[in-house]
Structure 1
Amino acid sequence: MHTPVNQPSSSVSTANSDSNIQTKVSSGKGPPVEFVDPPEQVEVRVGKQARLHCEFRSSSVPVACCWIYNKTKVVVGGPRMSVRSSETQSDVEISQACPEDTGSYTVMVRNAKGSAQHTVSLGVIDQPDPPASQPVISQLSTESVVLSWTGPSFDGGTAVLGYKVEVRQEGQDKNESWTEVTSRCKNTTYHIRSGLAPLGRYCFRVRAYNSAGVSEPSQESECVEMVTKKEEKKGESESYITVTIDTKHKAKDHYNVHEKLGVGKFGQVFRMSHKDTGQEAAGKFYRARTAKDRTAARKEIELMNSLHHPKLVQCLAAYETSSEMVMVMEYIAGGELFERIVDDNFEHTEPTSARYMQQILEGMQYVHTQNIVHLDIKPENIVCVNTTGTRIKIIDFGLAAELEEGQPLLVMHGTPEFVAPEVISYEPVGLESDMWSIGVICFILLSGESPFQGNTAAETLALVTAAQFEFDQESFEDISDEAKDFISSLLKKDRRCRLSCAEALAHPWMASFAVMNRRPTKSLNKGKMKRFLARRKWKVTLTNSLKNAPSPAMDRCTIFLSRLPCNDLSILCWSQEAEEAFQSLDKQLQSEPRFQQALKDATLPKGATLRLTCLVNGSDRTVLFFIK
């Protein structure tokens, strides 16, 4: 006799005088596979063992598993890697982890009823690279000096926590040791206020550190001799240069090129110094291989000739040869505004924030009077003139464009947290698009939080499109109602309803900050701002991902895909190799039945009840049990 059973796990019960068979069938309720407290992120030091462990509950057996690395490569094991799976868990172990192992690992678990997947992010961390540039010296006086440098090219896979500044005094003993000035510098600038002797000669170097360790030192700074009296402060220059592109010389004919300051989609930026005057500058070396690239570079240089204002970075010279295009800009050594604000020695209040916003509005008002829209206003593009004052400048007009009457301007670039809704919707942009970004800057400046930051880029874009934000009670507890109204007047979905620069400068909050400066004000908490800056280091801007899209249609397609829910997008992105691995899971499930718990001999007294239990694993097909 036989009994058909449609579940892989069965229990058979019978008595010694009765051959009747009873079958238990699972209810089948709940998901086919459910993960149990799976990890989201695993971090491990270079050279150590990494273990990615996922436990799960399956509604049926057998269970088949596989791991996919970065959605393209099937993890099959190797000399350093092993994969182990059972019916309740799956593991990937990597011995002597290296940076190349960093990425996302997705485990796919499948049974006869369905499947589930979970992604674990693995970070392999190491000490950071040394700071990319030697310290640059400015604001020299009798006993103090300001140092500025560029952060490391590679942070070791985890955020840089700070810098150690070291000094060495030059004397007769050339083997003089280095002395640590500070180990708690959080920014890429540091003001040494004491400990230096008049007429002393000093060199400086910097080390970066993260949670994994301390980097090797940077290159040494140039040796500097302290002065015997303070130099006269130079006022802010009101003379401007209209630049004509020099096609007969190279930039290196007139300038010495020093360390790299940054890298972007356009090319690279280096610190430079004029060979005759010694004036420091920043050289923007364009990647101008194509005619399109050169046209874009010329357009930016031409546009900079229209932007002569104390709150805007200035163009000093430009060069074009068959091999390169270079725009020479003024060198601003004060660092990013938001980095300055989180400095422990810097006061951060609502009135000081209003003063910064006033300067931003003054600069952008001039830009807008030239009928130019910036289109990339974000914290990184607002910098301090020096390391001690409160003057700022707006930089990087690489995405700026001049508006032309009767010709709508449609763009698809910007940073998700700061871009206006009309950019995401691929609708015409205008001067009002910059005002939205200014509103976001003000929101963060006062609270340390980003009003539209979601868990994913897709969620951020959705929040921006809906113009949904709120003033968190805790974050805005000490912020005036006038400031909140100022922000709300800029973050309007309909760009026609946003304040202009002139209207924003006339807003009651702007008018009241001078009054607030005359009464005691509470310092704002910098903790959230510090966390915001840490997150910013990991953001990938739409500028980099969409800037080179071949057409508006492709731009819209790309933005559409980025707005899909994460699960849908991940399905679209699996490689052919990964798809084949998933298909192989089905084949594994079609294995022959096997005993998980076989029948055992039993001896019982006469008249007792006998219970025989047998657990069988197999595919979700009919299993025949024969009792003899």
Structure 2
Amino acid sequence: MFSLCLGGFFPQSKDMHDVAMIELGPVEDGGSYIEELMELTAQSLSRLEIQEHFNVIKEIGRGKYGRVLLVTHRCRGTPMALKVLPKASTKLKGFLREYCISLRLSCHPCIVGLFGIAFQSDEHYGFAQELVVGRDLFAIIKPRVGISERVVKRCAVQIASALEFIHRLGLVHRDIKPENVLLLDTQCRHVKLADFGLTQKCGTLIRFISSTLPYMAPELCAMVPDAGQETPKAPPLSIQPSLDTWAFGVLLFCILTGFFPWEYCTSTDCFYEEFAEWRQNPETTEVPSQWMRFTPACMEMFAKLLALEPNDRSTADVVKGYVGKDWVRPKCPNGLMGENGGVSSMTTMSSPCRSSPVLQ
């Protein structure tokens, strides 16, 4: 099976939380490497027709922004994934940004590679990427169960390495979720981060968003305008790596449990409110039921990744210090979990999150 989720392409079965329109303010440092690369690419962008240079095998992805095609190069026979975006709905600058950012990042072993082929036809912009034959991380998550801790830790270390590289270059991915982690094998010994359609430089301003995803940090969810308003009450938000750190923490929860911890990080979501109250008063507030399956060491890691204040969040690579520790409490014969593996009357494996949304 071929699987690729790039630049806003999402499998139709996962569209429940997939749409989030974001208006961006100007990037302050216009003389950066990415902007220079965009300018050079614009000047040398090849003009070609897809059918003349590629054999189209089949479509492997479709989304609001265009299509992803499985193709082979007519001369070399090389298989690749061709991302094609219609000019009618794609700005040249947006296309160039995604391509140049993807190209800059593609040298990392845990990030999807590029062939360095960017072009325009009469109706489309396009570029060629490495073809990852396999599934994405979302596809192997069992609802209400998740993935084994051993496999999760493999994923965590590789994703953290990719994020560390992205952030070191002054960029923020902004769309960390299981659908954008591609698997080269079913045991996740090698995974690759994909989809840089929303990636921006640190310091780019977000003025509003029109909808929320479970992976969005609370400060990002605050950018949704109230009903009847055109702009949110919150001032423009500066994009920072802490947004990726939060999303990474939510991703780890999802793949360990098969649940979303909440639907959105606002006061109207009771699961987020329960979590926020516990984080603000950990000594006097009971641990929310859906978090009781995790060991103290794992909860310490989550507390660093999911700190409510952006400035208090750790970097993604903090997970590397916890891979040698247990993350999930052992399960008792009766299915209950408790402190140090003991029995708890608060939660069961069959209903760990009450009505918390299930990944499916």
TM-score, normalized by length of structure 2?
Answer: 0.67
Alpha carbons of 1:528 and 1:258: their partners in 2 closer, same or farther (altered >3 Å)?
farther
Match of 1:430 among 217, 224, 240: 240
- What are the residue-to-residue correspondences of 1:355-504 with 2, within 5 Å? 355-387=154-186, 390-404=189-203, 408-410=205-207, 412=209, 415-426=212-223, 427-453=237-263, 459-460=268-269, 463=272, 467=276, 472-473=288-289, 476-477=292-293, 479-502=294-317, 504=318
Summarize deviations over 1:420-440 as a string: whole Å, max 9, x none. 112122332211111000010
Query: Residue in 1 aligned with 2:123?
Result: 323
Alpha carbons of 1:261 and 1:408: their partners in 2 closer, same or farther (altered >3 Å)?
same
Cα shift at 1:419: 0.7
Alpha carbons of 1:300 and 1:488: their partners in 2 closer, same or farther (altered >3 Å)?
same
Contact kept, 8 Å, 1:420 with 1:464, in 2: the verdict is no
- What are the residue-to-residue correspondences of 1:177-256 with 2, within 5 Å? 246-256=45-55
CA distance in 2 between counterparts of 1:269 and 1:379 reads: 18
Alpha carbons of 1:381 and 1:413: their partners in 2 closer, same or farther (altered >3 Å)?
farther
Instruction: Give ranges in structure 1 of 5+ residues lacking alignment.
Output: 1-134, 137-147, 156-241, 538-628
SS in 1 for 2:126: strand
- How many residue pairs get aligned? The number is 289
SS in 2 for 1:281: strand
Alpha carbons of 1:387 and 1:496: their partners in 2 closer, same or farther (altered >3 Å)?
same
Contact kept, 8 Å, 2:110 with 2:192, in 1: the verdict is yes
Q: Which amino acid aligns with 1:436?
A: W
Residue identity over aligned pairs, in percent, reads: 22
Match of 1:282 among 76, 81, 93: 81
Alpha carbons of 1:522 and 1:258: their partners in 2 closer, same or farther (altered >3 Å)?
farther
Query: Residue in 1 aligned with 2:94?
Result: 296
Cα shift at 1:408: 4.1
Alpha carbons of 1:381 and 1:411: their partners in 2 closer, same or farther (altered >3 Å)?
farther
Q: Which amino acid aligns with 1:324?
A: H
Alpha carbons of 1:288 and 1:474: their partners in 2 closer, same or farther (altered >3 Å)?
closer
Q: Which amino acid aligns with 1:250?
A: E
CA distance in 2 between counterparts of 1:277 and 1:376 reads: 33
Alpha carbons of 1:379 and 1:471: their partners in 2 closer, same or farther (altered >3 Å)?
farther
Summarize deviations over 1:293-319 as a string: whole Å, max 9, x none. 222111111111210211111222211
CA distance in 2 between counterparts of 1:432 and 1:381 reads: 18
Cα shift at 1:457: 9.4
Summarize deviations over 1:506-550 as a string: whole Å, max 9, x none. 53x13x25xx69xxx879999789xx9x9556xxxxxxxxxxxxx
Cα shift at 1:389: 5.1
Contact kept, 8 Å, 1:287 with 1:293, in 2: the verdict is no
CA distance in 1 between counterparts of 2:274 and 2:173 reads: 20
Contact kept, 8 Å, 2:221 with 2:266, in 1: the verdict is no
Instruction: Give ranges in structure 2 of 5+ residues lacking alignment.
Output: 6-10, 14-37, 224-236, 279-285, 336-347
CA distance in 1 between counterparts of 2:161 and 2:101 reads: 18
**Relative to total residues, which structure has the larger helix share, 1 or 2?**
2
Contact kept, 8 Å, 2:86 with 2:123, in 1: the verdict is no
CA distance in 2 between counterparts of 1:415 and 1:485 reads: 26
Cα shift at 1:254: 2.4
Alpha carbons of 1:419 and 1:149: their partners in 2 closer, same or farther (altered >3 Å)?
closer
Q: Which amino acid aligns with 1:416?
A: L
Q: Which amino acid aligns with 1:449?
A: F
CA distance in 2 between counterparts of 1:415 and 1:394 reads: 21
Query: Residue in 2 aligned with 1:579?
Result: none
Match of 2:63 among 257, 264, 277: 264
Alpha carbons of 1:468 and 1:279: their partners in 2 closer, same or farther (altered >3 Å)?
farther
SS in 1 for 2:46: coil
- What are the residue-to-residue correspondences of 1:152-167 with 2, within 5 Å? none
Q: Which amino acid aligns with 2:157?
A: Q
Q: Which amino acid aligns with 2:238?
A: P
Alpha carbons of 1:313 and 1:154: their partners in 2 closer, same or farther (altered >3 Å)?
closer
- What are the residue-to-residue correspondences of 1:11-22 with 2, within 5 Å? none
Superposition CA RMSD, Å = 4.2
Summarize deviations over 1:194-235 as a string: whole Å, max 9, x none. xxxxxxxxxxxxxxxxxxxxxxxxxxxxxxxxxxxxxxxxxx
Q: Which amino acid aligns with 1:443?
A: F
CA distance in 2 between counterparts of 1:276 and 1:326 reads: 18
Contact kept, 8 Å, 1:286 with 1:325, in 2: the verdict is yes
SS in 2 for 1:364: helix
Contact kept, 8 Å, 1:378 with 1:437, in 2: the verdict is yes
Cα shift at 1:386: 3.2
Q: Which amino acid aligns with 1:424?
A: C
Contact kept, 8 Å, 1:447 with 1:475, in 2: the verdict is no
Q: Which amino acid aligns with 1:494?
A: E
Q: Which amino acid aligns with 1:497?
A: D
Q: Which amino acid aligns with 1:421?
A: P
**Relative to total residues, which structure has the larger strand share, 1 or 2?**
1
Greater relative CO (CA pairs within 8 A, separation 6+): 2
SS in 1 for 2:305: coil
CA distance in 2 between counterparts of 1:293 and 1:248 reads: 16
Q: Which amino acid aligns with 1:401?
A: Q
Alpha carbons of 1:416 and 1:490: their partners in 2 closer, same or farther (altered >3 Å)?
same
Alpha carbons of 1:390 and 1:413: their partners in 2 closer, same or farther (altered >3 Å)?
farther
Summarize deviations over 1:583-625 as a string: whole Å, max 9, x none. xxxxxxxxxxxxxxxxxxxxxxxxxxxxxxxxxxxxxxxxxxx
Alpha carbons of 1:391 and 1:506: their partners in 2 closer, same or farther (altered >3 Å)?
closer
- What are the residue-to-residue correspondences of 1:310-349 with 2, within 5 Å? 310-316=109-115, 317-342=117-142, 348-349=147-148
Look at both structures and tell me which one has the larger radius of gyration over its CA atoms: 1
